[in-house]
A and B are shown apart, each in its own frame.
Chain A
Amino acid sequence: MSDMHPPSAAAPDIHSVADARKHIRTYLIVGVALMCGTVMTVWASLIDFHSREMNIALALLIASTKGFLVAGFFMHLISEKKMIYAILSFTVFFFLALMYLTLLSMAPGNVVQIR
């Protein structure tokens, strides 16, 4: 099996070897950022804020940032086609509706008490 082969024609986001190298550098930086984010998540969970809600909020904030990095750079969502954004906009709508209904169902007056 040959090692070298002309790059695929269906590669709109990587046009040249130089372009690919630039992308590889980005992937490595994102990978390191994700690992640092993991350490931060553990560190933040060990801090006593005298409020569990604060720990939960911080952990979810870091996890969301990491999620954005994976989706944005590894899954190339920061530069995708409109069709994918359209599909995901429906997903986001229904996901948020699901979470809203979850919160709505929990207590009268929509007050969520984290115990």
Chain B
Amino acid sequence: MEIPYTVKPRPDTGLYNAKLGIWLFLASEVMLFGALFSSYILLRVNAEEGTWPHHWLNIWLGMTNTFVLIFSSVTVVLGWASLKMGQFKRYKFYQGITLLCALVFLCIKSVEYRDKFMHYEVHLKDGRIADGHLQPAETTDKTLVLEGRFVTNHAELMEGSLHHGGEPKIEIPKDEIVSMENYGPWHNTYTAIYFTLTGLHALHVIGGAIVIFAIWGPLAKMWEQDPGRYTNRVEVSGLFWHFVDLVWIFLFPVLYLL
């Protein structure tokens, strides 16, 4: 049985079915991310004075990832326009770049996540707090080695821009440690909402890249049999990809800059 309206628009909606479907899906996605942004606002506004972190994330990595996603949005739309002009090889080239961009984005995100999981806040018996990145190669059974600093007040940890990079190595005897915790999602409300928002976004990047790859590679023979339907598939996957870019455009300033 042939699926109707995969190429020609339905007379009542003026759209082919997949396009109507993706827009309904994107509408639900807006509400999903909207709910998480709403959670972010509530957590941020209700945080006690001096307890909300600033500049804990590397702005330049976030900015690079923003450029990568914008560039990939351009290549997606150029790929679709190439198909409209009947230039299949050009489409393959542009979507290949899109897939590379997705990979670069995820690699940079992994570097950022690793940085947070290696970053520790260590409370000592004398009341001081050691804050820095774990050096696993130099850490022994008796001594913990961090690249970081000591602070006496927890509030000093909230401003991240003052101590990015080039910090000395500090050795801490393990019997002096009261508690220690890395900057994972469990660390505080900021890291919780940061990992939730960016993790969900990264899952969307992975999902979008898988669909774009499937259309670009294994399903590409449809171009020979039904070019109109193939072009529409590319358009629909592209709409999802632009939405992923759109979400990041708001995530970047909210999480990295403010």
Contact = CB atoms under 8 A, between A and B. Distances in A.
A20 B87 CA distance: 12
Given A1-B223, A45-B257, A70-B249, A75 B15 contact: no
B1 interface: no
Contacts of A17: 85
Given A28-B74, A38-B67, A102-B38, A10 B228 contact: yes
Nearest to A115: B49
B63 interface: yes
Nearest to B88: A3
A interface secondary structure, majority = helix
A10, A82, A101 — most chain B CB neighbours (10 Å): A10
Given A14-B81, A63-B253, A1 B27 contact: no
B59 interface: yes
A87 B23 contact: yes
Contact of B231 (A11, A41, A99): A11
Interface in B63-91: 63, 66-67, 70-71, 73-74, 76-78, 81, 83-90
A28 to B, nearest CB: 7
Contacts of B250: 63, 67
B59 to A, nearest CB: 6
Contact of B31 (A94, A101, A114): A94
B41 interface: yes
Interface string B221-234: 10110011001100
B184 interface: no
Given A81-B15, A84-B23, A115-B52, A41 B257 contact: yes
B7 A99 contact: no
A28 B77 CA distance: 10
Interface of B: 7-9, 13-16, 19-20, 23-24, 27, 30-31, 34-35, 38, 41-42, 44-49, 52, 59, 63, 66-67, 70-71, 73-74, 76-78, 81, 83-90, 220-221, 223-224, 227-228, 231-232, 238-239, 242-243, 245-246, 249-250, 252-254, 257-258
Closest 3 CB pairs of A and B: A45-B257, A31-B74, A59-B253
19 contacts: A1-B88, A4-B88, A8-B231, A10-B7, A10-B16, A14-B81, A14-B84, A27-B78, A30-B74, A45-B59, A56-B258, A70-B73, A70-B249, A75-B243, A84-B20, A90-B27, A99-B38, A103-B41, A115-B48
